[in-house]
Amino acid sequence: MPHDIDAIIQRYAQGYFLMANEEDNGLSWYTSRKRAVIPLDERFCYPRSLQRVLNQNRFSVAINRDFEAVVKGCANRESTWISPELGETYHTLYQAGWAYSFETWQGDQLAGGILGLVIGGAFIGESMFFKIPEGSKVAMVKLVERLRERNFLLFDAQLTNPHLERFGAYIISSQQYKTQLQQAIRRRCSLE
């Protein structure tokens, strides 16, 4: 797939996302009738045990301190949809200022991170990982705080799972998602 940045961003802005195919590892565009979003309002929540971790200030946060390591961390699992080609695409989007890694660090060690794209006031979460327990959970809380501070309207998680549901992730219809996405991408926001 050629790295036509404008075409890729346009597809994301229409509600599609890229994934590698299991059969041939080629890239394809996907969308879904139901979309998972992380709330940026009072519905956002997290386990009480995580509050203790946050109070201990064991982790610092950074944006794009080690983008490549976050992509590799997200791809490093038994079954992954982040192929080498998709990793290269993320790198191209990163160089063009669209893709970001929101990271947690413990000293000089990368603890966890969230990979995503920023289009206007929408953060489109692609994947997350951790190397140190609680690293990705702290990243989630700190990212939501950052998105709120920066007046983002939408945190798109694409697909839900029990882990994201503990943070208040919920499902909206494709039409609701597209309406929220269009409102969000018109807003001028910056993650940094």
Report yes or no: 55 and 173 within 8 Å, Cβ to Cβ: no
Mean pLDDT in residue range 147-153: 98
CB atoms within 10 A of CB 188: 8
> Which pLDDT band holds residue 2 (cuts at 50, 70, 90)?
very low
Check whether 83 has a pLDDT greater than 80.
Answer: yes
Give the integer Cα–Cα distance in Å for 76 and 179: 34
Mean pLDDT in residue range 161-168: 91
Query: Which SS3 state, helix, strand or coil, does residue 137 take?
Result: helix
Check whether 159 has a pLDDT greater than 90.
Answer: no
Give the integer Cα–Cα distance in Å for 9 and 168: 27
Report yes or no: 85 and 1 within 8 Å, Cβ to Cβ: yes
Report yes or no: 70 and 76 within 8 Å, Cβ to Cβ: no
Indicate yes or no: pTM above 0.75. yes
| 52-75 pLDDT per residue, tens | 999 999 999 999 999 999 999 999
The bridge status of strand 122-130 relative to strand 154-158 is: parallel
| 135-145 pLDDT per residue, tens | 999 999 999 99
5-185 is classed in which CATH architecture?
Answer: 3-Layer(aba) Sandwich (3.40)
DSSP one-letter code for 25: -
Query: Which SS3 state, helix, strand or coil, does residue 144 take?
Result: helix
Place of tokens 């001028």: 188
C-alpha torsion sign, points 114, 117, 120, 122: negative
Give the integer Cα–Cα distance in Å for 96 and 134: 30
